[in-house]
Amino acid sequence: MDHTSASIRIYSPQWGQEDTYDLDLSPDSLVISHGASKATCTYRENLDPQWAGETLERTLSNDGIYPPSVLPRMFERAWLAWRANELTDDALQSELDAVAEWINAGTKAKPRTEFWKRFF
């Protein structure tokens, strides 16, 4: 458990297709990237992990994706479980895929009227 990579496919109403978001995990950090945007979560002993860089919410909202506010903590929990050997690389990917399915269900259910399209 020194490093692993994963990815999730999230539907973007902005582009009408799924985009790939890459995750790079090490014992010290979790980096989620999409294009030039990167959100970095750093491990801190006996403290909550700390996020830096582009916020995950901003990166996703740029593509018309508005996930539940718990999403950063979900990524933290999966990363910390992987870090503690509670999740294998394959199990981690499965859990991330489940999160992507949840986000996609909400994104695809957004109102599509002309009124809402102007704002979201």
Residue 5 CB coordination number (10 Å): 11
pTM to 2 decimal places: 0.90
Q: Model confidence over 7-18: pLDDT tens digits?
A: 999 999 888 899
Question: What does the domain layout of the chain look like in residue ranges?
Answer: 4-117
Mean pLDDT computed over every residue of the chain: 94
Percent over 90 (pLDDT), the chain: 79
Tell me, what's the pLDDT at 1?
Answer: 63
Classify strands 50-53 and 29-34 as parallel, antiparallel or unpaired: unpaired
Burial of 47 (0-12, 13-18, 19+ CB in 10 A): exposed
Q: Does 4-117 carry CATH code 3.30.70.260?
A: no
**Which one has a higher pLDDT value, 110 or 98?**
98
Give the type of residue at 58. R
Q: Model confidence over 18-53: pLDDT tens digits?
A: 999 999 999 999 999 999 999 999 999 999 999 999
